[in-house]
């Protein structure tokens, strides 16, 4: 078989590509104790749209990619501009590009991040509210689908990485760590089994300190920095 490689002709293809715009959006999760409940929930900030399309609906924080900024920089900038949040680490999640996801043709490069509850600034930001990820209203565009995919990635990743660390203070009790897992996975974990598994994993180091309060004192642990966090591979080495 011999076949001529049909390389795109510049004129037609470039004209078509010019009608496509690139945006970035960010799904940023934290945990929050639900009011009037003993449980915690995975929550994320959404921004109320102030113009069409979908004026009045809630949407992921984001904006257009500038011609002179990288994808990562655009994600950080638009997240800060819309919500005031500045997580230390954003990871690319997926590029969403269905033809009909917006009235005009938009490819959205979506990032995701975790932020510790104590890193969320106090006070409110205009047009921004935090929502329980498991009970979202109808969002703008395909943003319900995007959040669903980000939640799946979070649940998946918590199983084989230290990603729960991104939601905890430097020192924590085993009950606090288990609550992070239970909230993300959406199911109860047996305390004795959980203790056995994390003690066996070598990822935790017990400290000499204890959390005291209304319950009996609970030992504080910290993560063993010698054990690799989830490896992002060669992209980690990029400037």
Residues within the interface to a second copy (CB under 8 A): 1-8, 10, 13-14, 16-23, 47, 49-51, 63-71, 78, 81-84, 92, 94-95, 97-99, 105, 107, 109, 121-128, 145, 148-149, 152-153, 156, 160, 231, 233-235, 238
Residue 157 or 211: the one with the smaller Cβ distance to a second copy is 157
Instruction: Please tell me the number of Cα atoms within 13 Å of 219 on its side-chain side.
Output: 9
The Cβ of residue 85 has, within 10 Å, a number of other Cβ atoms equal to: 20
CA 201 to CA 175: how far, in whole Å?
16
Residue 139 or 168: the one with the smaller Cβ distance to a second copy is 139
CB 228 within 8 A of CB 211: no
Q: Closest separation between CB of residue 182 and a second copy, Å? A: 20
Structure token digits, residue 177: 């760590």
Q: Which residue has the tokens 């994808």?
A: 71
Q: Closest separation between CB of residue 167 and a second copy, Å? A: 20
The Cβ of residue 60 has, within 10 Å, a number of other Cβ atoms equal to: 28
Residue 32 or 49: the one with the smaller Cβ distance to a second copy is 49
Structure token digits, residue 238: 């990029």
Residue 92 or 173: the one with the smaller Cβ distance to a second copy is 92
Q: Closest separation between CB of residue 231 and a second copy, Å? A: 7
Residue 149 or 194: the one with the smaller Cβ distance to a second copy is 149
Residue 5 or 192: the one with the smaller Cβ distance to a second copy is 5
| Ranges assigned E (strand) in the chain | 21-33, 40-48, 58-59, 62-64, 91-96, 106-114, 128-132, 204-211, 218-223
CA 126 to CA 132: how far, in whole Å?
19
């Amino acid at each position: 078989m011999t076949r001529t490689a049909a390389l795109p002709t510049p004129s037609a293809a470039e004209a078509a590509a010019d009608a496509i715009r690139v945006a970035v959006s960010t799904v940023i999760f934290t945990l929050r104790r639900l009011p009037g409940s003993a449980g915690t929930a995975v929550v994320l900030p959404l921004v109320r749209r102030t113009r069409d399309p979908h004026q009045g609906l809630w949407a992921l924080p984001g904006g257009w990619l500038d011609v002179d900024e990288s994808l990562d920089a655009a994600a950080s900038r638009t997240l800060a501009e819309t919500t005031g949040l500045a997580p230390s680490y954003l990871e690319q999640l997926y590029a969403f590009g269905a033809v009909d996801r917006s009235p005009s043709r938009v490819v959205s490069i979506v990032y995701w991040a975790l932020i510790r509850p104590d890193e969320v600034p106090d006070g409110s930001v205009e047009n921004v509210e935090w929502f329980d990820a498991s009970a979202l209203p109808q969002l703008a565009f395909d943003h319900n689908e995007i959040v669903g995919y980000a939640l799946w990635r979070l649940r998946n990743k918590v199983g084989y990485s230290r990603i729960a660390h991104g939601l905890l203070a430097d020192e924590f009790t085993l009950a606090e760590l288990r609550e992070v897992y239970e909230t993300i996975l959406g199911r109860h974990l047996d305390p004795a089994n959980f203790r056995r598994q994390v003690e066996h994993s070598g990822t935790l180091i017990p400290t000499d300190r204890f959390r005291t309060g209304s319950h009996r004192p609970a030992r504080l642990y910290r993560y063993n920095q010698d054990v690799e966090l989830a490896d992002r591979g060669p992209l980690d080495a990029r400037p």
